[in-house]
Structure 1
């Protein structure tokens, strides 16, 4: 029986996707529920799953744009009991005819060219790759030296060069160029970034935060925090918590424009920018106002892991009322982050650097961070933008306030 693998729909408004890469080779054996390919849309990366066990036949090569619902591959389920690699050697020998044995012997001579027998035993070569290497008269060294498994894609990279051999496949100039097509995700990101600059009245305001209190809390209670909650106490949870409290006092920063209306949610879904191999993605910590510091840390770690492994769903990246991005992890000292539409504000974190600052008339060395708020001036006035950033600063410099919904605990105690 032949089973079809269809291109799934990433969302209602998307009709085309790009097959980013195949995780299996054409003609190979796949297991039921095995991930066989990565599919990229303008919003997310999805995985193609084998619906049954059997031999897969790929209909559409990688880096090809296809229609949603089209057939990406088929699976022949006949004889799907065991993969070919599990067939006993005795059975293999009984099926090998003299002509095939001679052909295998000739191909082994090609593959063993310029390498020692001991090295050859350690290298695994797929059947398709072996056939392609034989046809192109290539040795293992011609493809890549020291690789533990050679696939058909590796062979194609060499055979497509003008001179597919060791001596002539090396770059002839230090001014070589590499050209790769933009992914659907990267194209959409580029379009959105340009649209933000053209369609919003974006402005950025800056402030600085003394991170002493947060750093001391982390240092003092890190071990106990990890033992109880099973995750490290980072600084992102403090920023998320402070952001939520500041948004409560400045709701316009949590708003967005929809046509001629201004929408102001009563909830706080905080988008957290995460760098992944596919580019920048912005998964969402939903209802952040209901989470503790530990809950926020766990959720951010879960989303970050999914993003790096290409497992983020469209649902986990759709929506969001405000965004936080941390360029400090890459060493950025100051930047102007770009708004994540249709949101109206984004908070930029930066590198923590020890600098001399004036404290009560004396110069002290403190861990300082510049923070930036980019906002849409069409609906957010200077009072709200500056007030929001000042409130974030106050809460981070006095994190105990976060325990009292952003209020001064002494004033709460005195009821003033």
Structure 2
């Protein structure tokens, strides 16, 4: 401990914090991870959120991202997977885990079978689970069985993040804050666009960085026309 450091308090971690610590140790110990990032325009997503929010107040950027990621995973099923010991599982169910920041750490709620739900169903379900989680009344089952995780860190102001995998999942998507930036097209014309950094981490023991890159390219196409993918 050292004699030159005065201690304000000390305690053993337990509960949620201990669970998170165990998962993160497992993640970095057992999973060779690599992260790739791409800045993508979210102009159309913001427009869609404002439009849909008039019909359902529970619609948020996060709920839209959950739906759009599920649509991208349908096109890249190898990303919706897990390597458990030496057996590789590709899941038919697309269960999107969503990280929710609480005082004692980031906890998970899981939107199950997201591929079969429209944006309003996902938005309502997500808001209900978050409210119950904050009230410590969320059933444990609603925090389990994710096949892919989305961590939207935009509200914290992070532009770029390096998300750690949530074992045994093969992929996790971290989303940075949205900022207006100049974008120069192929004709050297500059426009102002709302840009966000999308960061995909993959388990290199299960797949290659190529798969993460292809997934991001598909997600970029979906983000350019999100209204076609929200199930309405």
Task: Name the SS for the 1:208 alignment partner.
Answer: strand
Q: Quick check: 1:256 aligned with 2:87?
A: no
Q: Look up the match of 1:402.
A: 229
- Structure 2 unpaired stretches of 5+: 1-5
- Structure 1 unpaired stretches of 5+: 1-174, 406-416
TM-superposed CA distance for 1:191, in Å, is 2.3
Conserved in 2, the CA contact under 8 Å of 1:277 and 1:308? no
Q: Quick check: 1:290 aligned with 2:116?
A: yes
TM-superposed CA distance for 1:334, in Å, is 0.5
TM-superposed CA distance for 1:181, in Å, is 2.8
Q: Quick check: 1:219 aligned with 2:45?
A: no
* Aligned equivalents of 1:358, 1:307: Cα separation in 2: 43
Q: Quick check: 1:237 aligned with 2:60?
A: no
* Aligned equivalents of 1:340, 1:358: Cα separation in 2: 36
TM-superposed CA distance for 1:245, in Å, is 1.6
Q: Look up the match of 2:211.
A: 384
Task: Name the SS for the 2:35 alignment partner.
Answer: strand
* Aligned equivalents of 1:218, 1:192: Cα separation in 2: 33
- The one-character-per-residue Cα deviations of 1:98-144 (angstroms, maximum 9, x if unpaired) are xxxxxxxxxxxxxxxxxxxxxxxxxxxxxxxxxxxxxxxxxxxxxxx
Aligned with residue 199 of structure 1, among 30, 55, 58: 30
Q: Look up the match of 1:365.
A: 192
Conserved in 1, the CA contact under 8 Å of 2:34 and 2:209? no
* Aligned equivalents of 1:315, 1:283: Cα separation in 2: 9
Structure 1 segment 12-23 matched on structure 2, within 5 A: none
Structure 1 segment 271-290 matched on structure 2, within 5 A: 271-290=97-116
- The one-character-per-residue Cα deviations of 1:314-373 (angstroms, maximum 9, x if unpaired) are 211121100001111111111100000011110001100111111353111111000100
Conserved in 1, the CA contact under 8 Å of 2:97 and 2:148? yes
* Aligned equivalents of 2:191, 2:109: Cα separation in 1: 38
The count of corresponding residues between Structure 1 and Structure 2 is 226
TM-superposed CA distance for 1:176, in Å, is 6.3
Structure 1 segment 29-178 matched on structure 2, within 5 A: 177-178=8-9
- Give every structure 1 segment of 4 or more consecutive aligned residues whose post-TM-superposition deviation is greater than 2 Å: 178-181, 217-223
TM-superposed CA distance for 1:282, in Å, is 0.8
Task: Name the SS for the 1:273 alignment partner.
Answer: strand
Which protein shows a greater Rg?
1
RMSD between superposed Cα atoms in Å? 1.8
Aligned with residue 73 of structure 2, among 240, 244, 247: 247
